Amino acid sequence: MSDSRQRRDGRRRTLEGVSNDDGRHPQDPDERRYQAVRSRDARFDGEFFFAVATTGIYCRPSCPAVTPKRANVAFFPTAAAAQGHGFRACRRCRPDAVPGSAAWNVRADVVGRAVRMIGDGVVDREGVPGLAGRLGYSARQIQRQLTAELGAGPLALARAQRAHTARVLLQTTDLPVTDIAFAAGFASVRQFNDTVRRIYARTPSGLRAEAATGRRARPAAPAAGIPLRLAHRGPYAAREAFDLLAGEALPGVEEVTGAPGARTYRRTLRLPHGQGIAAVDERGHPGWLAARIHLTDLRDLTTAVQRLRRLFDLDADPYAVAAHLGPDPLLGPLVAARPGLRAPGAADPEEFALRTVLGPAESRRAAAGHGTPLDVPCSGLTTVFPEPAVLIGHPVAGPLAEALAAGTLLLDPGADRDEAEAGLRALPGVTARAARLIRMRALGDPDSAADPAADRPAWRPWRGYAQQYLATAEPTCTEQTPIAA
Residues 80-108 pLDDT 10s: 999 999 999 999 999 988 888 887 777 77
Candidate ranges 1-5, 51-55, 227-231; pick with highest mean pLDDT:
51-55
Mean pLDDT of 166-189: 89
Q: Which pLDDT belongs to residue 375?
A: 86
Question: Does 223-297 carry CATH code 3.30.310.20?
Answer: yes
Please state the domain extents for the chain.
Answer: 3-96, 103-172+175-212, 223-297, 298-484
In the predicted structure, residue 479 carries a pLDDT above the cut 50: no
Task: Name the nearest CA neighbour of 394 among 423, 358, 361, 353.
Answer: 358
- The catalytic residue positions are 59, 455
Q: Which pLDDT belongs to residue 173?
A: 85
Q: Which pLDDT belongs to residue 108?
A: 78
In the predicted structure, residue 474 carries a pLDDT above the cut 70: no
d(CA 34, CA 37): 5
Q: What one-letter code names the amino acid at 244?
A: L
The mean of the pLDDT values for the chain is: 88
* CATH architecture of structural domain 3-96: 3-Layer(aba) Sandwich (3.40)
Q: Is 155 helix (H, G, I), strand (E, B) or coil?
A: helix
Mean pLDDT of 193-202: 92
In the predicted structure, residue 7 carries a pLDDT above the cut 80: no
Q: Which pLDDT belongs to residue 401?
A: 98
d(CA 414, CA 314): 18
Better-scored residue on pLDDT, 327 or 11:
327
The CATH number corresponding to 103-172+175-212 among 3.30.110.30, 3.90.1710.10, 1.10.10.60, 1.20.58.220 equals 1.10.10.60
Q: How many CA atoms lie within 13 A of 173 on its CB side?
A: 29
Please give the CATH number for the structural domain made up of 298-484.
1.10.340.30
In the predicted structure, residue 469 carries a pLDDT above the cut 50: yes
> Would you say the C-alpha torsion 362, 269, 414, 137 has a positive or negative sign?
negative
